[in-house]
Chains A and B, each alone.
Chain A
């Protein structure tokens, strides 16, 4: 069964510093992978997704993620944190089996940005 782990339930960075949020997945075959962001009291919105077209994926707001099959990882990065990046970030995985279409989320990482 597929699963997602996110190392670090809470990450704090200084404004302008590198953001690194970790995501590892467990799946029998490389799945589709997603990063979603949730701002306070809102629903989730897509940051970026990996669908096998390219291992380095660029998303909105300057975020990007790299798929590494050997490490079963899909870590999210941003070179320079902004105050507006403070939010909850979720990694998600979806199998490539069209008959199921299940989407499983990790436990999330709360990002704080310190002025």
Chain B
């Protein structure tokens, strides 16, 4: 019962370095999401993918890119990390298609950019 799996769980980067956060779900969900969580800001949507082969910008997409590799996997890439991207990142998925489905979350990835 893996659900949504994120890797890595922790990462420290220097300003300007790049990295990719991996996310995979085994629930055959159509929709996948990347959020960042910062104190007092709640969860802010970075990018989402309503189906394999499609991606859309969320509330805070600048500085990020995503790839929906297949139905299971949705990766988030930071091309040139900045201290403002220090955050906890959550991947989530849901069945999609109707808007009423529950989101299932990964455990989060804590990223620090020095």
Interface residues of A (CB under 8 A from B): 6, 9, 31-32, 34, 36, 42-46, 49, 51, 90, 92, 94-108
Chain A residues with CB under 8 Å of B105's CB are 43-45
Main secondary structure on B side of the interface with A? loop
Known: A43-B90, A46-B102, A51-B100. A102 touches B107 (CB 8 A): no
Q: Is the CB of A95 within 8 A of B99?
A: yes
Q: How large is the interface on B (under 10, 10 to 19, 20 to 34, 35 or more residues)?
A: 20 to 34
Main secondary structure on A side of the interface with B? loop
Interface residues of B (CB under 8 A from A): 30-31, 33, 35, 40-45, 48, 50, 56, 58-59, 90, 92, 94, 96-100, 102-103, 105-108
Q: Is the CB of B99 within 8 A of A94?
A: yes
A81 to chain B, nearest CB (A): 22
